[in-house]
Amino acid sequence: MRKTPSKLNRLAQRLLDMAGGNGVSHTTVRRWVLEVIELLAARAERLERALKRIIRKGGHVVLIDGTLVCTRRWYSRDNRRNNIEIAR
């Protein structure tokens, strides 16, 4: 995903806010943020292993990016089964 200039400006502003509020420079805060991201990425389960585990346990739906989607459950009389509809 490519970041637009407005997103980069907001990120920089948040770093400046965190830095100023804690009495450290914004470069220090940026370094800390990157270190935490690297630490979390190193500890996270790899995607291939996670998908295999989900399949093994009989999972059907996987949210990869963590986006919440508004849905509605409904029953199809024709198919005689419950379905999920993505609400717009």
3-state secondary structure of 4: coil
Please give the model's pTM, rounded to 2 decimal places: 0.45
Q: How much is the pLDDT for 39?
A: 92
CA 56 to CA 44: how far, in whole Å?
A: 19
The residue-averaged pLDDT of 60-86 equals 68
Q: How much is the pLDDT for 3?
A: 52
3-state secondary structure of 43: helix
**For the packed helices 26-43 and 5-22, what is the interaxial angle rounded to 10 degrees?**
110
Q: Is the model more confident about 69 or about 51?
A: 51
Q: How much is the pLDDT for 82?
A: 65
3-state secondary structure of 15: helix
Q: Does residue 5 carry a pLDDT above 70?
A: no
Residues sharing a CB contact under 8 Å with residue 71, sequence separation 6 or more, in sequence order: 84, 85, 86, 87
- Residue range 12-60, pLDDT digits in tens: 677 778 788 778 888 888 888 889 889 988 888 888 888 888 888 887 7
CA distances from 9 to 3, 6, 13, 15 (A): 10, 5, 6, 10
Q: Does residue 1 carry a pLDDT above 60?
A: no
Instruction: Please report, for the chain, the start and end positions of each structural domain, with discontinuous segments joined by +.
Output: 5-86
